[in-house]
């Protein structure tokens, strides 16, 4: 299972406690994870990327395995440890705002 | 009529304040949607338990929430606001063409008689409608696609459609206001629109009496006399007696005619409220004294209402959607400040008291008479 960690305000919106576990078929990519996440939690559509599966919102970042994967292409393969569930895929609100 | 429910949107969440008809003791619920900007919360006149809230953040964009039990529980509904067709451009601050980009919903206006129909005024200025309780939204693009649209420019707060008034007497007639384009009227339920700004004078634009380009801050209407409209413009308090066809200034003896909100007494169509603010550069009350001004003559002659409001060292602002009136026999008047206070007067403005003092900056105040 893929493990996904959401920022607190999106966990509140989707009424999620803790991590989300998703079954995602290979190849595991940013797009395949977000597709699965939005299928289970439709209220998250438009809050991480645009409604058509396009670019991430400017103040959202994607981290995993201590790497910033925010600028990777949506269909790029993610690290194997994300695919096995050894490491979570972190969806992060950028440090900004007040 | 047994009580009131005050719906408060703030920079960091929504709050619901309830009281019986005496409006002396209050229960405070919230923050709902903590941490999110809540530009507006409003209830359906056709079903007071149905509420809509505009929830947004710089991180995660727009969410629309709906409650069917008066704000006890909420459900996210549709948040897809797509402009109709190729959106084109409006003018940017520097005068260059700028693509229309959805930023947020500023104002939600539920239908007067159908709880499933609700309108959304958005930034960049456009009007959307849902007929299924907020699940799906479609643009009424006749407004944005008006011939003047490419010349519209944003005000300092963005190019927002912040006011929508539905005429209770003329089905299909509605008024919208956009900063900084002006006031617009539709007579066909939002399909087509025309500017209604004749009589406005704005020194900050090249042609002071241009058809569009005026920074209208707020419109208000009395339900029993919808042909009379009041306007708080950037500068100037204005009145129209012919459904917006022409306007004349009624600032009269106000200490300053800059401000944001304007509202009308629930039972007296000639009783109007404004909150004068020093200037466009100094968004706080003159002399540090928070004063609501009331006219009982439909404008021109104004009296300061100060009892219970801070009369020294007060430097808050009252934003355009942050004033409301209830319809109890003794009309209640409410407003919220950027300092987080929400004030109530249960006697039409004579006496004021804070309901809460320390909320996040208040963006909007609405009240339901239950």
Across the range B322-344, mean pLDDT stands at: 98
A2 in any annotated domain: no
Nearest CA in chain A to B60: A47
Report pTM.
Answer: 0.96
Q: Which residues of B touch A12 (CB under 8 A)?
A: 33-35
Helix (H) or strand (E) holding B293: strand B292-295
In a domain, A53, yes or no: yes
Candidates B34, B59, B79; nearest CB to A46: B79
What's the token pair of residue B179? 């900063």
Quick one: pLDDT at residue A54? 85
| Residue A39 within a domain | yes
Digit-coded pLDDT (tens) for B78-113: 999 999 999 899 999 888 999 999 999 999 999 999
Please report the ipTM that was assigned to this predicted complex.
0.90
Residue, of B1 and B341, whose pLDDT is higher:
B341
Kindly list the residues from chain A whose CB atom is less than 8 angstroms away from the CB atom of residue B62. Answer: 46
Q: What's the half-sphere exposure (Cβ side, CA atoms, 13 Å) at B202?
A: 23
d(CA A94, CA A88): 18
Give B304's strand partners: B293
In a domain, A31, yes or no: yes
Please check whether residue A24 lies inside any domain of the structure. Answer: yes
User: What pLDDT does residue B205 have?
Assistant: 86
Q: In angstroms, what separates the C-alpha of B61 from chain A's closest C-alpha?
A: 6
* Closest Cβ–Cβ partner in A7, A10, A97 for B58: A97
Structure tokens at A39: 């299928």
Q: Which two tokens stand for residue A87?
A: 């490491």
Helices (DSSP H) in A1-98: which residue ranges? Answer: 8-14, 30-40, 80-84
Q: Would residue A3 count as lying in a domain?
A: no
CA angle centred on B18, ends B6 and B23, rounded to 5°: 95
pLDDT in tens, B163-173: 999 999 999 99
Quote the pLDDT of residue A95: 83
Total structural domains within chain A = 1
**Residue A69 placed within a domain:** yes
Q: Kindly state whether residue A1 falls inside one of the protein's structural domains.
A: no
User: For residue A39, what is the domain's CATH number?
Assistant: 3.10.20.30
Distance CA B262, CA B230 (A): 7
Share of chain A above pLDDT 90, in %: 91
In whole angstroms, what is the distance from residue B69 CA to residue B56 CA? 22
Strands (E), chain A: 2-5, 20-22, 60-64, 67-68, 89-93
Interchain contact A95–B (C-beta under 8 A): no
- Residue A30: which domain range? 8-93
In angstroms, rounded to a whole number, what is the distance separating the alpha carbons of residues B88 and B307?
Answer: 50
């Amino acid at each position: 299972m893929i493990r996904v960690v959401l920022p607190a305000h999106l966990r509140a919106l989707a009424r999620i406690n803790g991590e989300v576990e998703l079954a995602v078929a290979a190849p595991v990519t940013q797009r395949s994870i977000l597709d699965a996440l939005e299928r289970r939690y439709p209220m998250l559509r438009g809050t991480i990327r645009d409604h058509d599966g396009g670019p991430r919102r400017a103040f959202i970042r994607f981290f995993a395995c201590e790497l910033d994967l925010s600028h990777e292409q949506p269909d790029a393969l993610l690290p194997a440890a994300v695919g096995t569930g050894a490491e979570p895929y972190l969806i992060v609100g950028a440090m900004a705002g007040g | 009529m047994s009580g009131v429910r005050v719906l408060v949107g703030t920079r960091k969440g929504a709050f619901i304040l309830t009281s019986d008809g005496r409006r002396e003791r209050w229960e405070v619920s919230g923050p709902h949607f903590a941490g999110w900007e809540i530009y507006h919360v409003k209830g359906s006149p056709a079903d007071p338990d149905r509420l809509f809230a505009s929830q947004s953040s710089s991180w995660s964009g727009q969410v629309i929430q709906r409650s069917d039990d008066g704000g006890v529980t909420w459900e996210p509904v549709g948040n897809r606001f797509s402009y109709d067709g190729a959106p084109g451009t409006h003018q940017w601050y520097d005068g260059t063409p700028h693509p229309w980009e959805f930023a947020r919903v500023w104002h939600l206006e539920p239908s007067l008689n159908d709880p499933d129909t609700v309108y959304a005024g958005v930034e960049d200025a456009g009007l959307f409608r849902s007929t299924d309780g907020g699940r799906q939204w479609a643009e009424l693009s006749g407004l944005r696609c008006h011939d003047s649209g490419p010349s519209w420019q944003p005000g300092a707060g963005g190019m927002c459609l912040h006011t929508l008034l539905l005429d209770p007497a003329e089905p299909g007639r509605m008024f919208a206001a956009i900063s900084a384009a002006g006031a617009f009227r539709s007579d066909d339920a939002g399909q087509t629109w025309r500017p209604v700004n004749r009589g406005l004078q704005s020194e900050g634009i090249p042609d002071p009496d241009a058809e569009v380009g005026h920074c209208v801050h707020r419109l208000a209407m009395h339900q029993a006399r919808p042909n009379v409209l009041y306007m708080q413009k950037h500068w100037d308090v204005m009145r129209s007696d012919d459904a917006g066809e022409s306007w004349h200034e009624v600032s009269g003896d106000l200490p300053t005619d800059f401000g944001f909100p304007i509202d009308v007494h629930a039972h007296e169509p000639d009783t109007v409220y404004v909150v004068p603010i020093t200037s466009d550069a100094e968004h706080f009350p003159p002399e540090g004294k928070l004063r609501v001004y009331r006219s009982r003559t439909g404008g021109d002659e104004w009296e300061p209402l100060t009892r219970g409001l801070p009369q020294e060292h007060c430097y808050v602002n009252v934003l355009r959607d942050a004033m409301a009136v209830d319809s109890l026999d003794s009309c209640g008047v409410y407003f919220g400040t950027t300092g987080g206070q929400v004030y109530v007067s249960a006697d039409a403005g004579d006496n004021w008291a804070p309901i809460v003092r320390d909320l996040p900056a208040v963006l909007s105040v609405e009240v339901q008479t239950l």
